[in-house]
Amino acid sequence: MRLLRNPNTDPLDVCEWHGVQCTVKGLICSIRWRIASKEHGDLHWIPSTTRNVDFLNTRLHREALCTRKLPRALRFCALVRCGLHGNVDLRTLPMNLQRLDLSFNAFTGAIHLTALPLNMQRINFRNNKITKVVVCNNRLPPGLTGAYFHQTKRKARFRCLDADMIDHRVKKDIFRPEDDAADWGLEEPRVESYGYLTSEDSCRCQ
């Protein structure tokens, strides 16, 4: 907590923590952390009202990701280089989730694209250790633009349950976002003199 709180404000007011945005009613709606530290964060701490989660190089207490316990209001989720590993179940994601980036972790096993949230737009699993991707073409969300599974070492195997060929939106290619901040719908952070990322005080979620 000491890495996140602003020394000039009440440490118990999480809305004043670096990278945290709140609604006008004081409910946390967005968290954007870049914390290169030996200290660990905890995904289970994230309130259910949170819509945007964007973590980079942020080590987590629980290195296995239980998608069933993610905030139900979540729409944008990026957990990049967070040391996550093990299996991950995309069939229990929050129903409003639109974009999911779990690149540069160490997830293993099979990924099932058979019961994704209806509004899902993009999935990125770049550089994990996925062994198999199971796809049901008829159950892919209509607005999905791409699901990316590029791996530099062992390539994942792809299996389609309802057709001879997998939908072209499921790819082995690398996804390269043009502008990360704009792409995720987040305000561009301001870098304080002590190196942590925060948002302008006026940037509040509506």
List pLDDT tens digits, range 14-50: 787 777 889 888 888 888 887 655 555 667 778 889 9
CATH number at residue 147: 3.80.10
Q: Is 7 part of any domain?
A: no
| Tokens coding 98 | 């639109």
Output the average pLDDT for the chain: 79
Q: Is residue 149 part of a domain?
A: yes
Query: What per-residue confidence (pLDDT) applies to 186?
Result: 42
> Is 14 in contact with 23 (CB distance < 8 Å)?
no
What range does the domain containing 123 cover?
14-198
**pTM for the whole structure:** 0.78
- Closest C-alpha to 101, from 197, 19, 176: 176
Half-sphere exposure of 39 (CA within 13 A, CB side): 8
pLDDT digits (tens, 9 = 90+) for 53-101: 998 887 776 668 899 999 999 999 999 998 899 999 999 999 999 999 9
pLDDT digits (tens, 9 = 90+) for 138-179: 999 999 999 999 998 888 999 999 999 999 999 988 876 653
- What is residue 3's predicted lDDT score, i.e. its pLDDT? 40
Task: Give the CB-side neighbour count of residue 109, counting CA atoms within 13 A.
Answer: 10
Does 152 fall in a domain?
yes
Domain count, the chain: 1
**6 assigned to some structural domain:** no
